[in-house]
Amino acid sequence: MEKNFTSRRIFIADSAKTIFGISAGLAGAGSLLQAACVSSPSAGGVFKTGFTQEPLPYAYNALEKSIDALTMEIHYSKHAAAYASNLQAAAKDEKVDTNEPLEKVLGSISRYSAKMRNNGGGHYNHELFWKTMAPDGGGAPTGKLLKAIESSFNSFDSFKTQFTDAGKNRFGSGWAWLFIDGDKKLRIGSTPNQDNPLMDISDIKGFPVMGLDVWEHAYYLRYQNKRPDYINAWWNVVNWKYVQGRYESQ
């Protein structure tokens, strides 16, 4: 697992050069990132999170149909960057080995400080969030994930309604989640602040397949108080290939 974690980080670093270089288009680099996450023979090991920000897998304006470029830029380079840097400070103070995946800390987060909980969750949630969106996203999942969604929530439409409601009804700041619980069942839920289902203190526990940021900073510039409009638009950029890869890794 450690070997895969390390080689993924090297691969991502190489992809980042491609993204910000002039030799390849953004779409091509995005596909490489997606392939790295989906096609690994040990998929469970590849979905591990480090303590530093990975490059955004697309340009700030790439999701413009749903999320405007300025929101993306502030969200990634200010909000998410602060979670990463505060997490690194907390890890140093609390003697966490940052060569180990962040998931290990989150699973026993009750043993750490509030700073670790807020910023470890914040960093993990955003690293996941960027990957679960793509400029050519939207539509519906296929294969095993679609079957599991239909079995757990009756239909894809009913799933969308329930997930949308989880985001709409989360009071204040937080996240909506699609996750796999301890009985390997797909479930929908939400968490406050930057908590997530990996945390031992969370009311909902399991493996996060997909998360939606419903903090106001994620949508306020374009959508103001209309969170449901943001969520409805967000469905048009969901990267189902990546989400399916996460589901199938479990």
Residues 218-247 that bind Mn ion (CB under 5 A): 218
**Closer to Mn ion by Cβ: residue 134 or 145:** 134
Quick note: the x/- pattern for Mn ion over 50-89, rule CB under 5 A, is: ----------------------------------------
The verdict on 195 binding Mn ion (CB under 5 A) reads no
Which DSSP string do the residues of 53-121 spell out, in sequence order?
A: PPPPSS-TTTTTTTS-HHHHHHIIIIIIHHHHHHHHHHHHHTT--TTS-HHHHHHTGGGS-HHHHHHHH
| Distance of closest approach, residue 247 Cβ to Mn ion, in angstroms | 23
In the complex with Mn ion, the residue whose CB is nearer, 181 or 216, is 216
Contact between 213 and Mn ion per CB under 5 A: yes
- Least distance from Mn ion to the Cβ atom of residue 206, Å: 21
Q: Which is nearer to Mn ion, 130 or 215 (CB)?
A: 215
The residue (of 177 and 215) whose beta carbon lies closer to Mn ion is 215
- How far is residue 172 from each of residues 40, 213, 215, measured CA to CA in Å? 37, 12, 7
Instruction: Find out whether 169 and 211 touch, Cβ atoms under 8 Å.
Output: no
Reference 223, options 212, 210, 236, 232; nearest CA is 232
Instruction: Give yes or no for a contact between 195 and 121, defined as CB atoms under 8 angstroms apart.
Output: yes
The CB-of-121 to Mn ion minimum distance in angstroms stands at 11
Query: For residues 106 and 195, what is the distance between their CA atoms, to the nearest angstrom?
Result: 9
Torsion of CA 146, 138, 241, 160, to 10 degrees: -30
Which of residues 72 and 218 has its CB atom nearest to Mn ion in the complex?
A: 218
Q: How far is the CB of 222 from Mn ion (least distance, A)?
A: 15
Rounded to a whole number of angstroms, the minimum distance from the CB of residue 79 to Mn ion is 5
What is the contact surface with Mn ion in residues (CB under 5 A)? 213, 215, 218
